Structure 1
């Protein structure tokens, strides 16, 4: 008992005693530890605040967008919740509620048609997550959808913070700026909607982080998840594929990159195969993989035409008095092309360039609804990195002014697109 008591006494006082002795040896006093404790607490609080900053910045920008949307919704005889679950959001909520076979019959494709195959155009990842959250918490489907969009947006923010710190010439400041630029994307309102972009961006952004860190299995797993959410996962596959091959050639390390590379397409190829077996049972595998693309073309006239439709759209919009959304869409596409050139010239990491180019190519090269092109560019967040790097070198006042301006412009443009613009985004 005596030994136990003495050990307890020593363990509880030894740190203080040693600190006091050290202070005495330096001519200090035993109160030094007490003076340091407030400093240590302040440091811990500072670190905690900095850790929370990416998520808070993302949510703050998006909350501004929702506030502006609420104002314009009231002026235009609708509500913000109705606007945030409109268009494709109704499809995702319908799939979350009843699965692919239980989607409300009132939902139709772009031509007003509906068959058993129509809902299969929408990937299952996001509506499945919404259904799971609803079953787990009892939240309504729209509330669960909005919560998940915000949650995955925050998850994306932390990945972008990491990317901004990892790249050549990057820093924590660059990462924070990148987070705000992403949240304030021209069509950033979709990150608050019952849409799948937020979940996809989270999976894609972390896949890219893991690629740069050479964590191949984690990168492959995130890419597989992205493939269950949106077909844009093809751009992530391009990035991880080239990066893995380059790593194998340079480092002579085979198994980990190869394992990640084999895992990466599981989500995208798995869903396309599943759709193909239902639409073309008994057909060859490659024919089945094509079934989803043909479904998109039949229902939404969406197909890859190497940019012919996009150029035609731009020519018509610029050749007449185009409306705000059409002109803005063209400007956004041109800016994206310029950012690709800048990213290449400043030698941005290859996987990040390939991913951004892949997303942009799928957007520019596809026919379909032209007014969705600004929204489809939201996942091309790596193209924002050159802007973040440039702003990081400017004075704080300049950075704040630019970012606040971008957030306000994004808030208005998103609200305009959902309340004044009469067509789908």
Structure 2
């Protein structure tokens, strides 16, 4: 039994905003709880919650690019070179735009962009969930995404919320065959994070699948039979052409700027000791945690988390989620878990992989409201406490 066979078809007579309102209100409530908890926790430790959200870790790099453009490097005693070329340009562009038009600083503008993008992301996540599993599943999907342990990142001046918003709406456009919109949003996602290529791959997968279905229909009902709207083939081709241009364009430009040609961006990432080894370094890191106690508890938690991610993906395959979602989620997960550096960042890097939560959303959607609340409310409280603890401790990168 597939999602598309069992979902309730949304009533198009009601507005999209009205249908999404419960999801957006629930998301806003979870984020408000997280921010309030962070503020209280930080005040108790004589720290500024706002500084933690806007002026630490990657936020400083983004605001620096917004203020001065690219060209800043930090040379470490180890010989490593941290270059700002590792950071994609869309968020800094928006920070500069906001700071130019308003009295906001670059950091303030980044925070505002993140807040607005997180709401846009929640709406896009709802739209995908509604399309696949119905309105109730869409609401549950948004709430599950909101209460993830690292959900506080959705309110930071980071690029996760912006990227997820662009990715979710691109996926929705591809699922509903709005090809040029899907390609343009994928292009923008590719200017936000390296994993934007996963969005482009999803658009390509949706386009190829639509073409295959059209040929299959024509072969069954005769040469003149088609499920395409007039001009859809050209729009699909244009969307597929646009989709990878953002990520590819920036990678090529950054490589040239770094002096390494087409592959120069890999050298930039190597300066941060970040690369792709298929997860071997992460596996060795996790195994190393089992050599003592209490580090073994952290190792068990990491192993369980990876197993859960894999199980959820397999569930999505078995329940026949749309190919575009499987391609996107698979690539985001592979790139996050297969990266060779910054092991503590992997939960944050998985944040855009929201379709992984669709099987859980389907289960919650079938339960009563009281039952779903009994699950989500304690998890939201735990997530808020963890986010406050995390940012007041080691925190991202």
* TM norm structure 2: 0.86
Counting only pairs closer than 5 Å after superposition, residues 116-195 of structure 1 correspond to structure 2 as: 118-167=83-132, 170-195=133-158
Aligned to 2:6: none
Q: Deviations over 1:230-262 (max 9, x none)?
A: 001121122111221222233156322211111
Cα separation, 1, equivalents of 2:244 and 2:45: 44
How far the C-alpha of 1:224 sits from its partner, in A, is 0.1
* 1:100 is aligned to 2:63: no
**Counterparts of 2:15 and 2:141 in 1: how far apart (Å)?**
21
Q: Distance in 2 between matches of 1:386 and 1:111?
A: 45
Kindly provide the CA deviation profile for residues 327-375 of structure 1, in whole angstroms up to 9, marking residues without a partner as x.
5444333221111011111111111111111111001111011000011
- Deviation of 1:141 (Å): 2.0
User: Aligned runs of 1:249-264 on 2, under 5 Å?
Assistant: 249-252=212-215, 254-264=233-243
Question: Structure 1: 5+ residue runs without aligned partners?
Answer: 1-43, 281-286
Q: 1:65 aligns to what?
A: 34
Deviation for aligned residue 1:52: 3.2
Q: In the alignment, is residue 279 of structure 1 matched against residue 246 of structure 2?
A: no
Structure 2 equivalent of residue 368 of structure 1? 341
Shift of the alpha carbon at 1:210?
0.6
What per-residue deviation string (whole Å, max 9, x for no partner) do you get for residues 144-184 of structure 1?
111111101111111111111111xx121111111111111
- The structure-2 alpha-carbon separation of the partners of 1:77 and 1:317, relative to structure 1 and needing over 3 Å to count, comes to farther
Could you tell me how far 1:324 is from its partner in structure 2? 7.4
Q: CA–CA distance in 2 between the matches of 1:111 and 1:399? A: 50
Task: Provide the residue aligned with 1:305 in structure 2.
Answer: 277
Post-superposition Cα deviations, 1:184-243, rounded to whole Å, max 9, x if no partner, equal: 122111111110000000100001001100111110000000000000112112211122
User: Aligned pair 1:408/2:388, yes or no?
Assistant: no
SS of the equivalent of 1:139 reads: coil
Contact 1:221–1:264 (Cα < 8 Å) also in 2: yes
Once residues 76 and 315 of structure 1 are traced to their aligned partners in structure 2, the CA distance between those partners, rounded to angstroms, is 34
Aligned to 1:355: 328
Structure 2: distance between partners of 1:311 and 1:361: 13
State the structure with more CA Rg.
1
Shift of 1:100: 1.3
3-state SS of 1:271 partner: helix
Q: For this pair of structures, how many residues does the alignment match?
A: 367
Structure 2 segments unaligned to the other structure (5+ residues): 1-12, 216-227
1:32 corresponds to: none
Corresponding residue of 1:84: 53
Aligned match of 1:212: 175
- SS, match of residue 348 in structure 1: coil
Aligned: 1:391 with 2:364:
yes
> What SS does structure 1 have at the residue aligned with 2:177?
coil
State whether residues 307 and 366 of structure 1, in contact with CA within 8 Å, keep that contact through their aligned partners in structure 2.
yes
RMSD: 2.4
C-alpha spacing 1:373/1:225, structure 2 compared with 1 (3 Å): same
- Listed as ranges, the matches of 1:22-37 within 5 Å are none
| SS in structure 1 at match of 2:36 | helix
